[in-house]
Amino acid sequence: MTSTDSRPFRFLDLPVKIRNAVYRMLLCNFEHAPTRVAVQGTSDFEKLRTAKHSIEPAVLCTNQQIHREAYDVMVRENGFVHVKCVGGLPLGIGLMASCVPIVTQNAAAADRFRGYILSVSLCANRDSPRALSVSDHPLFAPCSLIILSRDLDGFCRAVADADIHIPGCSKLLVMSITVAPKLAQLLPMSQKSIGAFLTEKMQETVLSPFRRLRGLKAVQVHGHVSRELANAVRDQMG
């Protein structure tokens, strides 16, 4: 009889393409936003929709090399977007109406995470307090949350619908958009990988949903983005 090889299997001996496929399977399984939603009761109008997924984050804790490889795939494939909004603006109710899935509403976790492809913050012009609602509805509360870049169309619909809930709100909004806001805080290898991923074509792709917004007079676009593209997006939104 021949003895079987009892050496342990080494995941890192697999080709990079196979390892990346495994990372995608474990870390990039977010379900798409529903096209129809069944409302069970009035409480469904008071909460955002949580993104459904089958993510297995334990792979990130294996070792340093696997963490770096898996983290890079997770960030590139999912395209995480950080959304911050002051209280009193109708963003939450717009996100609910547009069925935008929320990766997390945990503000501490959202603020701590670094792997964003984009961050968007919303507030009202300081000279225009009437843009803020005094409603105590939970969807008018301040928020710091994470969505996926593929759901930015729904996010922009939520912003565009602000005038439905507060007439004239869009003209008083201040929006700041930052591409790769925390790129400099990532490990050097992740900086290189994600920075190379953010080509001008990718910058155009991630910013394209904003170009359909109109009437926003106070918009800033900065970060890891070409100045020409940033100016074009800002001007088109105004």
Which strand ranges, in their side-by-side order, compose the sheet holding 80-85?
A: 143-148, 80-85, 118-124, 173-179, 218-223
Tokens of 159: 């912003």
Q: Is 37 left (phi over 0), alpha (psi -120 to 50) or beta?
A: beta
* Cα 141 to Cα 81: distance, rounded to the nearest angstrom: 19
pTM: 0.89
Supply the pLDDT for residue 103.
Answer: 97
Closest CA to 35 of 79, 105, 103, 100: 100
Beta bridge partners of 177: 120, 221
Closest CA to 91 of 173, 36, 211, 151: 173
Tokens of 29: 């399984």
Beta bridge partners of 179: 118, 223
Q: What is the pLDDT along the chain (238 residues), one digit of tens a residue?
A: 455 566 777 899 999 999 999 999 999 999 998 776 555 544 554 678 899 999 999 999 999 999 999 999 999 999 999 999 998 888 999 999 899 999 999 999 999 999 999 999 999 887 665 556 656 677 888 999 999 999 999 999 999 999 898 888 888 899 999 999 998 888 888 888 888 999 999 999 999 999 999 999 899 999 999 999 999 999 999 8
Delimit the domains of the chain by residue range: 79-237
